[in-house]
Amino acid sequence: MSQISAKDVKDLRDTTGIGMMDCKKALEESGGDMEKAVEYLRKKGAALAAKRADKDAREGMICIKITDDRKAGVILELNCETDFVARGEVFTGFAGALAQLALASCASSSEALLEMTLSAEFGGERVADAIKTMTGKLGEKIELKRLAFCDAADGLVEAYVHPGAQLGAIIHIAFAQPDGVRDLARDLAMQVAAAAPIVVDRSAVPAELIAKESDIYRQQALGQGKKEEFVEKIVRGRIEKYYQEVVLTEQAFIKINNMKVSDVLVEFRKQHEEAAVEVREFVRYQLGE
């Protein structure tokens, strides 16, 4: 067996980011050949990924990247097994690299991103393979759970990530003139993160959700002995309250409780000479949902 120098071990560690003992073992198994040692470590990572496939990966982070002109943004959730790994620089750096690649490539889904190729910093591997390599490096299951890309050619994308990176939201605002829109968009991104709406306006609430909620309220009213002639009135009232909970424009604004989000938009338009400002879409991710 060839003599393995400390410098060779350090060089392999610098290249792969994997621990010194594992790098030394890889060089020993590869007869000191650096390329073979890298391949050895990749295979080891793939083997560990397969071994840990059934493990729960419920920790991790929400990562958001937005282009400098704020015309596009991406949000993703990357998972691991422990909070200790989730807070480490290796994991957070990897999540950031994935988000940056998704943004640059306009990746529309996690499946699409898995087939893309990372930079030389991550071995020039396909994302799917790099995740296996990262599993070998960190010793935990790593999983790209979900991803969404937001294109805002007619406006801008703004974002909010709650401290701890376990909750985040991006929002697409369309506008005719840009004055003050970014501050408004930032507030609304925080609104989405904090209040968890599911749609922009009530017309977008799925009919099956309304039917389900109506049935729940109807059964509750009947169970409380309410007369049938009053039940439907009760149901309608509670559905109105449901809209106020899940529809962004009908929620109470988090910064001014006596105003709805729709009121904030109306006021903004008045202050900016009837500027055409509309919320087009938003995406909210909370870790583990």
The pLDDT assigned to 20 comes to: 72
C-alpha 222/C-alpha 21 separation (Å) is 68
Arithmetic mean of pLDDT over the chain: 88
Half-sphere exposure of 196 (CA within 13 A, CB side): 5
pLDDT band at 51 (very low <50, low <70, confident <90, very high): low
Please report the pLDDT score of residue 189 as a whole number.
Answer: 97
DSSP state of 52: T
> Can you tell me the distance from the alpha carbon of 35 to that of 37, in angstroms, rounded to the nearest whole number?
5
Buried/exposed 166-188: b ≥16 CB within 10 Å, e otherwise: bbbbbbbbbbeeeeebeebbebb
Q: Which of 111-115, 127-131, 133-137 has the highest mean pLDDT?
A: 111-115
Domain 55-151 matching CATH 3.30.479.20: the answer reads yes
| 56 neighbors 140 (Cβ within 8 angstroms) | no
Q: Hey, which bits of the chain come out as E strands?
A: 59-66, 72-80, 143-151, 155-161, 167-175, 252-253, 256-260, 277-286
Give Cβ neighbours of residue 157 (< 8 Å, ≥ 6 apart): 66, 67, 70, 71, 72, 73, 150, 170, 171, 172, 173, 185
For residue 50, pLDDT over 80 is answered with no
How confident is the model over 231-265, as pLDDT tens digits? 888 888 899 999 999 999 999 999 998 999 999 99
> What's the mean pLDDT in 156-167?
96
Give the whole-angstrom CA distance, residue 39 versus residue 162. Answer: 38
> How large is the average pLDDT for residues 69-87?
96
Residue 217's pLDDT is 84
Q: What is the mean pLDDT of residues 215-235?
A: 82
Which two structure tokens, joined as six digits, stand for 52? 């840990």
pLDDT for residue 57 is more than 80 = yes
User: 223: how many CB neighbours lie within 10 A of its CB?
Assistant: 8
- How far from 159 is each of 62, 146, 156, 192, CA to CA, in Å? 12, 17, 10, 10
pLDDT-wise least confident of 40-44, 175-179, 263-267: 40-44
Nearest to 79 by CA among 289, 232, 240: 289
Question: Domain 6-51 has what CATH class?
Answer: mainly alpha
**pTM for the whole structure:** 0.82
Least trusted range by pLDDT, from 153-167, 195-209, 222-236: 222-236
**Among 25-34, 43-52, 162-171, 194-203, which is the least confidently predicted range?**
43-52
State yes or no: pLDDT of 285 exceeds 60: yes
Domain boundaries along the sequence of the chain? 6-51, 55-151
pLDDT at 18: 67
Over residues 5-9, mean pLDDT: 77
pLDDT tens digits, 197-212 = 999 999 999 999 999 9
Same fold, 6-51 and 55-151: no
Mean pLDDT of 257-284: 90
Task: Tell me what pLDDT residue 1 has.
Answer: 46
252: Cβ contacts below 8 Å, ≥ 6 apart: 195, 244, 258, 259, 260
Please report, as a single letter, which amino acid is at residue 80: C
